[in-house]
């Protein structure tokens, strides 16, 4: 695809922030406007997995890496059936040059109705978010413009934001399904992998689950049935699972009240593993509370220490909330992992029941594979070891 660069840069667009700041650039993606919470991601690659991660629903993602689009988009690297982020903000959007490319990032943004802005100073924007904290924003990329800059700032201020919002029910599946590796287009580098015969039956709550989580569990010998976020615990137990998995997901964990009730009911009845939003839900279900981080953790280079082994792993993360340390009931819950950047809680386990959770993404996609051992730890938990 050959772009007319002059024509593209004439399609002006801007980002209006709730504090009155307006950052101008040129429109990319769909010619529409969008509201969202502006967050920065420090990953140097993996923009396709980031955009298709349901945990980014409600967010306008800023990439700190200045060159985006080089590897294009391919069917094998999607983490859900569509792009999930509300908008995309980059310094420079490039044409793809990679043998795995099916289509360009620009074409895929348009296909999925996601607006974006390129040509902005992403370093300035990232520093602003780092210093001030996460801000609500409005991408004005429609042609012709729908709102003036002043109106767009007012729109950003008036938006309800993500606090107190249940987005898990927006991104969850409509009905239960069994993960079928035969229909999985994501074999590594296009080469089919021989999978072990599954010997464990797992039920996974879909609060915004990523496909690579399902791939990793299947590669670990688990047969996975995915159920919608509001599935009653009685229905889950009726499937006679060997273990239950609580997935990642977007927005405020305290707003997903039905999931907290379900988790409380399941603790002690079946082995449990949670990640990201699932980690926060299990923290709330065991009496903890959550709070908002200043600018969240978004990237694939966060150092985490496993307190049970003293090993440090580099992790992929995407969350705006964390479990408050002073809310942990130490007689019931043990803190197992901490973030070495800010010492926030990154992992917990129950002292008396088969349950553990981590705040980060052991499946990566994108990111390092350091935490992949956690799926084996889940197997060991189920086996009673």
The catalytic site residues sit at 276, 361, 363
- Cis peptide, bond prior to residue 7, ω within 30 of zero: no
Contact 317, 297 (CB under 8 A): yes
Helix, strand, coil percentages (3-state) for the chain, rounded to 5, are 30, 30, 40
Sign of CA dihedral 205, 209, 213, 214: positive
Q: Is 303 exposed, middle or buried (0-12, 13-18, 19+ CB in 10 A)?
A: middle
Report residue 126 as tokens.
């990232």
Nearest to 254 by CA among 277, 229, 228, 227: 277
> Is residue 230 within 8 Å of 35, Cβ to Cβ?
no
* Residues 70, 97 contacting (CB under 8 angstroms): yes
Q: Identify whether the C-beta of residue 253 lies closer than 8 Å to the C-beta of residue 284.
A: yes
Cα-only R_g, the chain? 21
> What single string gives the DSSP state of each residue in 227-257?
EETT--HHHHHHT--SEEEE---SS-GGG-H
Of 261, 229, 265, 266, the C-alpha closest to 244 is: 266
């Amino acid at each position: 695809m050959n772009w007319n660069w002059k024509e593209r840069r004439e399609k002006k667009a801007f980002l209006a922030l709730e504090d009155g700041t307006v950052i101008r650039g040129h429109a990319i993606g769909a010619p529409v406007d969008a509201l969202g919470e502006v967050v920065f991601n420090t990953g140097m690659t993996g923009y396709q997995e980031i955009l298709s991660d349901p945990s980014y629903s409600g967010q306008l993602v800023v990439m700190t890496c200045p060159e985006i689009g080089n590897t294009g988009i391919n069917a094998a690297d999607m983490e859900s059936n569509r792009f999930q982020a509300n908008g995309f903000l980059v310094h420079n959007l490039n044409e793809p040059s990679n043998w795995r490319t099916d289509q360009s990032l620009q074409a895929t943004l348009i296909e999925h109705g996601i607006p974006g802005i390129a040509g902005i100073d992403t370093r300035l924007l990232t520093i602003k978010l780092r210093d001030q904290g996460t801000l609500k924003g409005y991408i004005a990329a429609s042609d012709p413009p729908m709102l003036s800059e002043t109106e767009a700032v007012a729109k950003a201020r008036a938006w309800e934001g993500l606090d107190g919002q249940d987005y898990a029910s927006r991104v969850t599946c409509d009905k239960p399904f069994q993960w079928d590796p035969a229909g999985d287009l994501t074999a590594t580098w296009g080469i089919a992998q021989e999978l072990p015969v599954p010997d464990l039956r797992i039920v996974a709550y879909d609060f915004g689950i990523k496909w690579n989580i399902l791939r990793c569990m299947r590669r670990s010998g688990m047969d996975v049935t995915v159920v919608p976020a509001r599935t009653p615990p009685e229905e889950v137990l009726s499937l006679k699972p060997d273990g239950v998995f609580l997935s990642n997901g977007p927005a405020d964990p305290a707003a997903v009240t039905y999931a907290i009730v379900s988790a409380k009911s399941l603790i002690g009845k079946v082995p449990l593993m949670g990640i990201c939003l699932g980690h926060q839900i299990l923290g709330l279900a065991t009496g903890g509370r959550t709070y908002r981080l200043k600018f969240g953790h978004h990237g694939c280079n966060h150092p985490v220490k496993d307190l049970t082994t003293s090993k440090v792993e580099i992790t992929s993360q995407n969350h705006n909330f964390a479990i408050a340390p002073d809310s942990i009931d130490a007689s019931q819950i043990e803190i197992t992992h901490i973030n070495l950047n800010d010492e926030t809680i990154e992992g917990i386990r129950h002292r008396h029941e088969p349950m553990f959770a981590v705040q980060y993404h052991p499946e990566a996609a994108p990111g390092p594979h350091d935490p992949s051992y956690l799926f084996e730890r889940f197997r060991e938990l189920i086996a009673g070891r």
